Amino acid sequence: MIFADFHIHSRFARGTSKNITLDNLERFARVKGLNLLGTGDFTHPKWFAELKSNLTEDGFGILKSKTGFKFVLQTEISLIYKQGGRVRKVHLLVLAPSFDIVSQISDELLKFGRLDYDGRPIFGMPAYEFVEIMHSISPDIEVIPAHIWTPWFSLFGSHSGFDSIKDCFQDKTKYIHALETGLSSDPQMNWTISALDKFTLVSNSDAHSMFPFRLGRECNVFNFKQDFTYKDVLNAIRFKKNFVMTLEVNPSFGKYYFDGHRSCKFSADPRKHISVCPVCGKELTFGVLHRVLELADRPFGYKPKDALPFKHLLPLQELIATFLGVGIQTKKVNIIYDKLISVFGSEFNVLLDADAQALSKVVGKSLADLIILNREDKLNIIPGYDGVYGKIKL
């Protein structure tokens, strides 16, 4: 199986770890259990130079490190523009098949603005115009609307998005094949909207650091041969060919699941129809569940006939930190985490496959039980809201 995370960032993007290097990405991807990773930020000139210096093209669209770890060229673009009398803010994930194509993308985008100030550059063009430019460079460039429900920067965002894919991409909708669910939604939520049925639902981490509690926290699972190509990746995304399932954070753990105000420490289930914050009197930040319910034309529980399977999983370090009652980046967490990895080989092996009895021998029955509850999607989670992650309730 190929575990692939196609949405990450370099250290040149805002709000990211300055320790993100290709070596660190590969190191922690292997610990996680990933074996295919997006490069992140290929439009940034300094990061692109590092990619060219450290990765080798295989001639079929896949890049390899010196040790053979595989990458695919990837970036994220931010579009901020006016359409329909409103300011729109849409983030797009972009995959490309070669360094030459990336150079052509960068040359074209330089006509509209700078690329050197941020790994996620901002342009003022409409989404349909961007897609048209990409398709004119190469039909093998894949554009995927990123984290489509996030309130502030997404296709369906409550503050700056659209009510339909056609409104956003117009006649270029035909070049959109997939949608990224984001941390605060999962396929089941998206299945409530019939207009999304024809699109493949993909999941990625949008990691801003290389640590395993971020990298691969959401990912895609493919059944590829070891010598798979970029075309295999496209066929999976466009036609669900050899696409096994997605691994998803339980959406209630995401930062924008419920409505709320971070500064007021107030959150609310949108089904309670509370639109004004009782603390400050201002309108709440409407979360992903609120927006999905607005656009849904089906009940929760409906499943399209060709829908891909998915599985909810929270990162292992989140479980350990909650169990110990300490921060996620503490020494106590790392000691237990490293012990589990040394025995079972990777985090995904621990989360998905390790036998309960074997886990108990390594970390004791109580933590082993928590890992199994996670696998069975039986964790009790206090929902996230307005930029605040959800919390596991023991």
Per-residue pLDDT of the chain (394 residues; tens, 9 = 90+): 999 999 999 999 999 999 999 999 999 999 999 999 999 999 999 999 999 999 999 999 999 999 999 999 999 999 999 999 999 999 999 999 999 999 999 999 999 999 999 999 999 999 999 999 999 999 999 999 999 999 999 999 999 999 999 999 999 999 999 999 999 999 999 999 999 999 999 999 999 999 999 999 999 999 999 899 999 999 999 999 999 999 999 999 999 999 999 999 999 999 999 999 999 999 999 999 999 999 999 999 999 999 999 999 999 999 999 999 999 999 999 999 999 999 999 999 999 999 999 999 999 999 999 999 999 999 999 999 999 999 999 9
What's phi and psi for 130, nearest 5 deg?
-60, -45
Contact 203, 220 (CB under 8 A): yes
The percent helix, strand, coil of the chain (3-state, each to 5) is 35, 20, 45
β-strand partners of 87: 82
Query: Which residue from 21, 35, 13, 12 is spatially nearest to 216, judged by alpha carbons?
Result: 35
For residue 330, give Cα distances in angstroms to 115, 247, 348, 363: 36, 26, 21, 17
Q: What pLDDT is recorded for position 278? A: 96
CB 39 within 8 A of CB 49: no
Are 223 and 286 in contact, with CB atoms under 8 Å apart? no
35-46 burial, b at 16+ Cβ within 10 Å, e below that, comes to bbbbbbbbbbee
Q: What is the crossing angle of helices 331-344 and 356-363, to 10°?
A: 140
CATH of domain 2-252: 3.20.20.140
DSSP 198: T
Output 372-375 pairs: Cβ under 8 A, ≥24 positions apart: 374/313, 374/314, 374/319, 375/313, 375/351
Any idea what DSSP says for residue 350? I
Q: Which amino acid is at 105?
A: I
Q: Identify the pLDDT of residue 379.
A: 97
Rounded Cα distance between 304 and 241, Å, is 17
- Cβ neighbors of 331 (< 8 A, separation 6 or more) are none
Distances from the Cα of 295 to the Cα of 24, 149, 190, 192, 275, angstroms: 40, 11, 10, 8, 17
pLDDT at 243 (0 to 100): 98
